[in-house]
């Protein structure tokens, strides 16, 4: 159950800043910082709402996923792609964040890897489509 909550907050942490940037023309850094601050203050002033473990990890995951939400719409133009990157960020944070110490930190590096992974998958899909079209056109000739 906790993992589903972490994934949900990873999605929200990525999509909310992305939406603020895209729909309301808020600068990306402000779009990342403001929702993160509001969420963190909520957990700070009302720590009894959730368990101690959730109280620690949810604001951190939300803040880290907000780095994903600062991506340009030229790189990830759809909300679904940003949400997938937020899920990937949450999974990386939960399983491998200690490996990224010294490489830009435990939040920025997984956020970068998440965005690059989703972007890379899109490019692989394009390459597969290109080669399948080329193969079909060569077969006709």
- Read off the pLDDT of residues 96-126 as tens digits, 9 standing for 90 and up: 866 766 666 778 889 999 999 999 999 998 8
Residues in the chain: 141
| Predicted pLDDT at 102 | 65
Closest CA to 70 of 122, 21, 8, 10: 21
Domain ranges within the chain, ordered by starting residue = 2-140
Contact indicator for 65, 18 with CB cutoff of 8 Å: no
What's the pLDDT tens digit per position in 74-94? 999 999 999 999 999 999 999
Closest CA to 67 of 105, 122, 100: 105
Reported pTM:
0.87
Which residue has tokens 């907000």? 66
| Predicted pLDDT at 109 | 87
């Amino acid at each position: 159950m906790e993992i589903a909550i972490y994934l949900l907050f990873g999605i929200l942490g990525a999509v909310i800043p992305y939406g603020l940037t895209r729909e309301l023309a808020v600068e990306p850094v402000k779009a990342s910082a403001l929702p993160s601050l509001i969420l963190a203050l909520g957990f700070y002033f009302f720590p009894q709402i959730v368990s101690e473990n959730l109280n620690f990890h949810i604001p951190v995951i939300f803040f880290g996923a907000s780095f994903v939400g600062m991506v340009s719409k030229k790189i990830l133009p759809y909300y679904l792609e940003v949400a997938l990157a937020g899920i990937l960020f949450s999974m990386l944070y939960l399983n491998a964040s200690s490996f990224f110490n010294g490489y830009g930190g435990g939040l920025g590096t997984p956020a970068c890897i998440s965005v690059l992974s989703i972007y890379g998958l899109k490019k692989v899909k394009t390459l597969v489509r290109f080669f399948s079209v080329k193969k079909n056109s060569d077969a006709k000739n």
